[in-house]
Each structure stands twice: as C-alpha cells, then as structure tokens.
C-alpha cells in the first residue's frame, strides 16, 4: 500500500526576479513541480518550545523519497493555497532503501510570500 495514496496535491514554488522596466525589479513566485504530500500539524513538546521561540506553527510533511525537496524550499497546498516553508533537510529523515514505503519526512512552517 502506498502511504501517499491519500496525500494532498502540492506544488513547489520557485522565486523569480523580474525587471520592472524602470531600473528596478520585483519578485514573483512561480508554480513548478507537482507532488503528493501528507501534511500534519506537529504538536509535540519540541513544537510547543518552537512556538514559544516565535515559530507560529510547525508541521510535518511526508513525501515520496525521490522528490527533490530541499531545506528552505517553499511549497503550496493546492486545495486551499496555504503556503509552507521547509525548515528541515528532508533527506536527513528518509526510510532505508530496503523499506517498502519509499518516503521521507520534513518539518515546515506556515509562510507568507514576500511582496
């Protein structure tokens, strides 16, 4: 059984800098690779401690081991447009190659795109 079969649709967002034709530039975010993710609110002691230090919310995401998600990547949940920033190195928490479920987990926080 594929643990991501009930995952939600997400897209990776990539930052792009576009000239404004007046000597400046502006930042825009483009949707790129689509993937499935199981995202859940993380309410452990560590998450509560992080919240006390200013992190507004902590989530745990589970994705396919092969998806190239990186630390500090920005992702969007398609169903509601919620934006998250990856706050851990996903490749540090993946299952062994011999495991049947080829997944990895990462931490994330809600994120507001800079304007």
Residue 35: inside a domain: yes
Q: What's the confidence (pLDDT) of residue 73? A: 97
Question: Where residue 49 sits, what CATH number does that domain have?
Answer: 2.40.10.270
Residue 55: its pLDDT value, please? Answer: 65
- What's the pLDDT at 90? 86
Tokens of 30: 């483009």
101, part of any domain: yes
Strands 59-64 and 25-41: antiparallel
**Confidence (pLDDT) at 45:** 76
pLDDT, one tens digit for every residue, the chain (115 residues): 677 888 999 999 999 988 888 988 888 999 999 999 999 987 777 767 766 776 666 899 999 999 999 999 999 999 999 999 999 888 887 777 777 778 899 989 999 998 7
Cα–Cα distance between 103 and 86 in angstroms, integer?
Answer: 16
Cα dihedral 48/49/55/59 (nearest 10): -50
- Strands 8-19 and 74-77 turn out to be antiparallel
User: Does residue 1 sit within a domain?
Assistant: no
Q: Domain containing 90: what range?
A: 8-110
Answer yes or no: is 52 within a domain. yes
Q: Which two tokens stand for residue 67?
A: 């998806």
Domain contains 89: yes
Domain count, the chain: 1
Question: Is residue 36, in this structure, part of any structural domain at all?
Answer: yes
Residue 115 lies inside a defined structural domain of this protein: no
**For residues 50 and 57, what is the distance between their CA atoms, to the nearest angstrom?**
8
């Amino acid at each position: 059984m594929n643990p991501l079969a009930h995952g939600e649709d997400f897209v990776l967002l990539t930052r792009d800098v576009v000239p404004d034709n007046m000597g400046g530039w502006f930042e825009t975010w483009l949707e790129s690779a689509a993937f499935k993710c199981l995202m859940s609110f993380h309410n452990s002691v560590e998450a509560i401690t992080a919240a006390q230090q200013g992190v507004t919310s902590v989530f745990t995401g589970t994705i396919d081991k092969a998806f190239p998600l990186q630390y500090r990547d920005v992702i969007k949940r398609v169903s509601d447009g919620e934006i998250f920033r990856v706050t851990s190195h996903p490749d540090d928490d993946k299952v062994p190659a011999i495991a049947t479920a080829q997944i990895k987990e990462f931490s994330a926080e809600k994120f507001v795109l800079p304007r």
